[in-house]
Chains A and B, each alone.
Chain A
Amino acid sequence: MLNINSERLPSWPEPRRVARRDFIVGGALLTFTLAGCERKLTPAQARAAAVPFLALDAGAVAVLDALGDILLPGSSATGLSHYIDHQLSGDDADSMLMIKYLGVPAPFTGFYESGLRAADALAHAVYGKAFPGLSNEQASALVTRMSGGRVEGWQGPPAGLFYFVLRNDAVDVVYGTSAGFEQLGVPYMAHIEPPSRWGE
């Protein structure tokens, strides 16, 4: 077992109280609430169905989508924002976000909100416009600066750590599922389901 050490972090504000939604064990589907009914959807389907966000506000989601597509093109359409929002609005003990490995205490909503705000503020400071309004070249230049970890005036979680976390979230959503493995030609060799639940 191994952990890549992260930079140290301050603590983050408490998230808003949100309803808990559960994952369905055994698949890539999440349980989302849509029009009062629980439905099992992939993050991409949740995005297509415009499932309301519970943890992140619209401004944060817009920055998250834009950043996600710079980090890993196509990740927003794969449902990056819905995936992260789903995890943030559930029970921290059940969280599947990589951030939990990196020395940041739960809850994690504040980490995302602060990081997204800082990225947007950086866009305003450097280019005079919001992050979602940047060209690809402009946004990539800012992400390169974030990845280096030292961004003047940055006010949020350490820029390098925020880059690392969000980049890996995008990879999780795009390549961390059986569909993602298939895109790469990696056999998933999925869930070992022994005939009689071995050992129980």
Chain B
Amino acid sequence: MTTPRPTPASLPRDPVDVIVVGSGAAGSNVAAHLAEGGKQVLILEAGPARGPGHLISSTLYARRVKWTGPPVLDEGKNPVGFVFNSAYGTGGAAMHHYAVWPRMHPEDFDMHSRHNRGLDWPLKYVDLAPHYDKVQQEAGVSGDATREIWRPPGAPYPMPGVPVFPQGSAIARGFAKLGRTVAPLPLAVTSTNYNGRPTCLWDGWCDSGCPIGALANPLTVHLPRAASAGAQLVNDAAVTKVLTSDDGTRAIGVEVALKDGTRQTVNARLVVLAAFAVENPRLLLASATAKHPRGLGNSGGFVGRYVMTHAAGLVYGLFDEDTRPYMGAFGGQLVNQDSYPKTTHAKSGAFGSYQWMIAQAVKPNDLLGISTSRPDVFGPALHDFMKRATRGFAGMTAVCEDLPVADNRITLTDQRDTHGVPIARVTHTTHDESVALWKASLAEGKEVMRAAGANEVWTGPQGSMHIMGGTVMGSSASNSVTNGFGQLHDIPNLVVAGPGLFPTSAGVNPTFTVHALAARSAEHLLTNWKQVAG
């Protein structure tokens, strides 16, 4: 297996079949499948070249791979946490993602019809299920489909469930005492050797990026496939504008700013924007023309709207036993989805789904580390806490659904980046029913921790996990930006890929669904190539 080597910033002069903007989960997936389908693919990555050698096992070095691109104004009562939740360079945010890969549930796709909340997707779970099956085989997912009693229909996991360490056992005891069950957390991490990739060492360095190929990041799975199929990856190539035909009906290429300050145009038959949930709408808005004065794909005014981020329900406990909390994967060891039905916590004024990610590996420091779980403690008491918690710490996180709100949105500011493109403002305030869901998760989590026998139980503040929406898919331009394959309603050969397409956020981590949607789009584009790009 090879990772595409950074190429000199030489861009093709002749039109290519496909330009993919961004090399993260969505971009690498689309690029691999289109290249394997015989298309000439050029991946333009704004950030620097990164390979496994850059993924240093350190909470400090991990901060170097996070976003350092054009600034994003992160505003509202509950900002989305753009820098932490994104990245800059080959592999995008997925290079340091935690690979928690549950599927969305059927009820996530038609929430508006069922509950008069949020939006409907233009597809059903059954439309996506074959693509979940395909991607989990490609990327390798560890899990136990039988024990995961909440799991929608689908092929069993290709690898057995991940191991459980003492932290996981301690919390599982709490669920059991309450008459509830847990299952291995589905992780795109190797529990056995898989397609030439070694088994994970369970050392908890996922946030720094996995350099050994155990975790299915783009460097490990889809970028090598794209490269083998002839795709070209150019780093330090910031797309500044999507170019459209004079009549405004087709994308014809992109304008690219290179590191040396030069600017070039590359033409293509198909343009795929896979630059994550904020940069995609920024580009669409910044590419306005006389034919598209409000920005590309924005005839209905939906570009930038419905930005979502999961509220994190952080619950901690201290146990007498040695929980060895540094062992395992950063995403966790076990899962519980008892609170998936949308009205489970309706009595608390809550709406939506959540799941528990149980027993995440922790390091002493950093935003998700042991020390930060008790930000109020300082002085000699902090040394004491660190020593006690290193032996007995346990934690779990609820992934709380965020209802889509039209005014949670991405807009352009009057400030410009170094290439002259307006920088983005993201405004996000969590819906009241989603805040109530987050609070319900904390109450339930404390009950579980106490049942498990924790001596001390406490909770964290409302954090922001993942960024979704902003270029939502739907049935027409009157309610969305794209169709169910990510094609702009207004410009069908301009395609969006990534979590920005999600009309609802669900109560699970987004990356598996990003991949499944990308694979489905790629298949559709190949099948209908003449119609779309001919």
Contact = CB atoms under 8 A, between A and B. Distances in A.
A172 B378 contact: no
A147 B372 contact: no
Contact of B51 (A105, A168, A200): A200
B75 A25 contact: no
A197 B460 CA distance: 38
Contacts of A73: 379-380, 383
Given A171-B364, A171-B365, A175-B365, A2 B378 contact: no
B84 A3 contact: yes
B283 to A, nearest CB: 21
B229 to A, nearest CB: 17
Interface string A63-100: 00000001111000000000000000000111111101
Contacts of B198: 194, 198
Nearest to A94: B64
Contacts of B68: 92-93
B37 interface: no
Interface in A29-87: 70-73
Interface stretch (B212-220, B240-248, B519-527): B212-220
B421 to A, nearest CB: 17
Contacts of B369: 171
Chain A interface mostly: loop
B98 A172 contact: no
Interface stretch (B52-60, B119-127, B132-140, B436-444): B52-60
Interface in B65-86: 66, 68, 71, 74-75, 78-81, 83-85
Interface residues of B, number: 73
Contact of B211 (A1, A96, A189, A192): A192
B203 A189 contact: yes
Interface stretch (A118-126, A127-135, A176-184): A176-184
A54 to B, nearest CB: 19
A43 B331 CA distance: 31
Interface string B449-472: 000000000001111111000000
A96 B66 CA distance: 10
B371 interface: yes
B371 A5 contact: no
Nearest to B467: A1
B376 A147 contact: yes
Contact of B63 (A5, A6, A101, A143): A101
Interface string B74-108: 11001111011100000001001110000000000
B459 to A, nearest CB: 12
A13 interface: no
Nearest to B197: A198
- Among B53, B312, B378, the most chain A Cβ lie within 10 Å of the Cβ of B378
Interface string B385-398: 01100110000010
A103 B2 CA distance: 36
B52 A1 contact: no
B364 A184 contact: yes
Contact of A199 (B220, B378, B460, B463): B220
Nearest to A3: B81
A19 interface: no
A172 B58 CA distance: 11
A114 interface: no
Chain B interface mostly: loop
Interface in B166-207: 198, 201, 203-205, 207
B368 A2 contact: yes
Interface in B313-333: 326
Nearest to A180: B364
A191 B210 CA distance: 10
A199 B1 contact: yes
A137 to B, nearest CB: 11
Contact of B367 (A4, A70, A94): A4
B60 A4 contact: no
B298 to A, nearest CB: 27
Contacts of A3: 79-81, 83-85, 367, 463-465
A5 B211 contact: no
Contacts of B463: 2-5
B8 interface: no
B3 interface: yes
B420 interface: no
A186 B79 CA distance: 33
Contacts of B387: 184
B211 A2 contact: no
A72 B375 CA distance: 12
A73 B378 CA distance: 9
B64 A96 contact: yes
A185 interface: yes
A15 to B, nearest CB: 16
A72 B157 CA distance: 46
A98 B84 CA distance: 10
B366 interface: yes
A21 interface: no
Interface in B19-54: 51-53
A145 interface: no
Contact of B203 (A4, A97, A103, A192): A192
B63 A189 contact: no
Given A3-B84, A4-B463, A197 B52 contact: yes
A34 B533 CA distance: 60
A96 B63 contact: yes
A167 B365 contact: no
Nearest to B53: A197
A154 interface: no
Contacts of B376: 147
A3 B79 CA distance: 9
A32 B291 CA distance: 56
B346 interface: no
Given A3-B463, A167-B375, A192-B203, A199 B365 contact: no
16 contacts: A1-B96, A2-B85, A5-B461, A100-B83, A101-B66, A147-B375, A172-B365, A177-B58, A189-B203, A191-B57, A192-B201, A198-B52, A199-B1, A199-B2, A199-B3, A199-B213
Q: Return the 9 tightest CB-CB contacts between A and B, nearest first.
A: A3-B81, A3-B84, A189-B203, A176-B365, A175-B364, A93-B68, A2-B465, A171-B371, A96-B60
Interface of B: 1-3, 51-53, 56-61, 63-64, 66, 68, 71, 74-75, 78-81, 83-85, 93, 96-98, 198, 201, 203-205, 207, 210-213, 219-220, 224, 312, 326, 363-369, 371-372, 375-376, 378-380, 382-383, 386-387, 390-391, 397, 460-466
